[in-house]
Chain A
């Protein structure tokens, strides 16, 4: 399906992105909102459709549209009493419906829809690698500066506020960081599977870590392992990369569940 010679660029971009997704995933798992990754990914389909319709790069139209969705999630969470999962469901189904309508227009690009749904690692070129590298670096800088405050805000918003943390700005920053990482991930892993790269490494790390820093480090290591082994495997056997990567992650998660049971059984 993909020539072996083209593995380097997709692998480079995928590993960088997977590490960022896995770090954000620690907070998503901590906040018990694993659903948000799928929600934002599905919502971005409307942005992809707009790109196809107006002959613009779908990556950038999806990014712009999804950043808008992130701001709306933040605004509705602050200004209404709706639970965040309800807000995300409303927005992602509405955006998905808009995306399907736009895609279904005469001359709608079914191929672009398929690539968005399942990912298109083979299409990763230098321009995508540079985009991923710049945005991933921005995410890493954001997380390095704010990860402790983010954790406190997620544990108890009032405590974070009293500690002098500007919780509203931080919340918005967190949502926008999530959106950027997820939309970048769609290009490689697809709408349907990008959420796994956010949730599986973090959940596996949570099973076997005893500290917050340990969980962050292990989550990144697991994500690199999953992508670093899954993608070459897909290329070697001519299989869809995103599906193999996700299944590799599921195998690792299952293994870590066994490890955690063994470790905790010995401790108790």
Chain B
């Protein structure tokens, strides 16, 4: 009983930090509609900056508590300033771009911040030296409870109260609330949105920075903090209702308590538990606990998706030549070239499968790596437990991915917009958590090794041809599906669900079928990838992998069928080049992503298509 009380208090203490981060994220989303991946980076910077500032202050004036508090606040302000700078330099230029491009740009910022942090502070975890008053305990029902955690418990409610005052009592707060609802109208009333957005970014980033700073005494500053927290912060924001600060508060309490007790009850599944809670909440309340449907459908000027047309003849020739060139690769490429080519082929299918969902389906998945990973694990588990040969493994791959596609898809297609995207992210995190924590089954972080092809396919050339046959074959089938009646129905359901249903199409069912097809296709890609590498790891399912797929589709262009192919080749080519030649490849990749988003807000293939049509007229 007493133990449970302490566990409960620990949950409350953790909820405070979670609330600080999530409230910043939800305010930023509410006003700017930017899903800010870089928010986790602000949190990480908060911890690192606090580490530096607090130690400097302590060196100057002794290890006093008030200097510690001052240091945390200075770190928060510094992170706020960095956030405002990111808004001014980067996001301000792309508010007119589609939401997903903004998301990619913020992911570019994540990569850049990772390398900057590494360069400034080095790879080691940085603990804050803890003077006696930071290590003090108090007695709670006979158990020892850290005094610092007790103080943290009050930080969340205090910040909630301050935010309430800010939003109710100041002009800035009233403008923020108005802009959360209808920012265009706010502009028409003479309010400069840019200043408002910069202010909101300052506020949100400072909150994230403070969140990072206050956890420093208990969890060292480290380079994994950014992506570790961002998924959790998204969960809190979505469960609370996007844009709602009180919702974020409730949700942070809920999630932190689920984690605190999850560790006691189901230590192997704490991560899974959090995302299950989120899925459950969204099933009952599709807009979160305190959220409301977004009025984002206002004045869709010029946002109508162009009609997808069949490829012009030239493109078919180019495609066929590229395929022939790839098939002939064993004649001119070495083993490394063949390995790269196999990876490219795999990623083409991975991207094409996501494109079916995003383009014709209008379903934006933030967690497509789940199905890629399920395919890989399907094959690997078959090898590990049933010792099946590759031929069977490659059947298990799409089966397992497709099966989970049915289960997850059933939930996903019932939501829309950002909530849908966040649910796909949550499901991907469930799969990732299972792969990571369920060590008996999956080997955890060590992965599953020894996933080798059958003897006949061990030759690199033969495996390339197998990969080409499977992956390019599946990609061509996916393209066919877009022009089949199924594809027309899917696009109709995307453009107007109501009208599609009025003519007898079952929109949710069409999307579910698309989801399962996409999942199974990604599963094939994952299976081939597993045999190409000979091993599988949880990283196949991680957030960066899902973002890779998004990048490929978006860089290629969502509304062109060739987009994912061009995007996969371009992105993976870029990635390998940077990895090989640039020491700070993350920062370089981040900069490249940002530059591409700024230069081609409609994707590379979309850009080429528009230039082509401007020159030669639309293909008919």
Pair from one complex: no
